[in-house]
Chain A
Amino acid sequence: MNAVQIVIQGALLGGLYALFAIGLSLSFGIMRLVNIAHGDLIVLSAYVGLMVINATGMHPIASLVVVMPVMFCLGYLLQRGLLNQTLSGGLLPPLLVTFGLSVIIENVLLEAFGADNRRLQAGALETQSIAVGGIAIGVYPLIVFATAVAAIAGLQLLFYRTALGRAFRATSDDAETAELMGIDNRHLYGLGLAIAMIFTALAGVLMAIRTNFDPAAGPIRLIFAFEAVIIGGLGSLWGTLLGGMVLGIAQAIGAALSPTWQILAGHIAFLIILIVRPSGFFPRTRD
């Protein structure tokens, strides 16, 4: 495996990390809520996919047709039913409630599915590769990366070209005034998490084809998402893609040494960015 291949592989992995991060970014951008249970929701999506596949025999990617709407509804209910109540009252309630939620989800999954490693089988897709300029590039990583790009482009369209996007941006700026202009914040926040969950579901299923997962696999995904967001800069979705790519490349370099070094290299890259450029590569000028 040569250096170019490592960098490409890492960059493509960045697409998956960007997908992990989208849900976290949206949640923070719109609701100012950092969802500690985010990683567990990614894993939950993978298990929902597993259930759908076991029940219908669908291909994992086809199962998204069911998983995405299911997680959309779950997100809306979760935000309106639980998380909206944490938004007033400072720093502790959202953090501790989502923390509690994280523990609950992990253990419910453990009860329901056991601790065994799982994987979603996508058949030939997993190993196919194409040759570009003499280098073999995996088809699946390419698909995941393309999905991430499409997702971000789609979200940019939503935010800057639609009335709903306008409402999201206004509420993010000034929730109280938005309410005075006729926006129902509670409903909007519900929609915000619902939309975020569409991408969380996407991330979960796509991840589950690539890697083994188990009920405890959530927290590390949260960390990857978080690292991608910080490296890229809070507030910029394209920045998150870049952040994911930097993380992916760092990990790919580390993986050449050992599996432990793979994750550690990612943490080190994150910590270096934190020292050198604490606001990331594409910070938004306003908080």
Chain B
Amino acid sequence: MPGWFLRGLRRGVVTTRYPARPDASAAVLPTPPAFRPEALTRELADRLCLICPSWALTRSGDVLIFDAGACTACGRCREAAPEAVTASGEFELAVTDPAHLVKRIPLLGEDAS
């Protein structure tokens, strides 16, 4: 008899209770980055824009434009700048308008005013 059958009998229902209750596996999902504006300089932002393989990051003046829809959560920006970028932990990102996914992250400009 397959082991999963006995395991199922022992543990009971395996189906997730999401969305009524949070799912335990959500904690280990790859998620888009969250940025720390006070650690983001223009140079670092430019470097991250070049690293990003899916055109999710662009810089416009003193603002880093992050398109969470284009982000593939590959983690390259996090690896390149762990002091400025961490995982956001957000996976419930469905929207009715793609513009809601475009976020503007203020940068620490050299001439910060």
Q: Do they bind each other?
A: no
Binding site for A on B (CB under 8 A): none
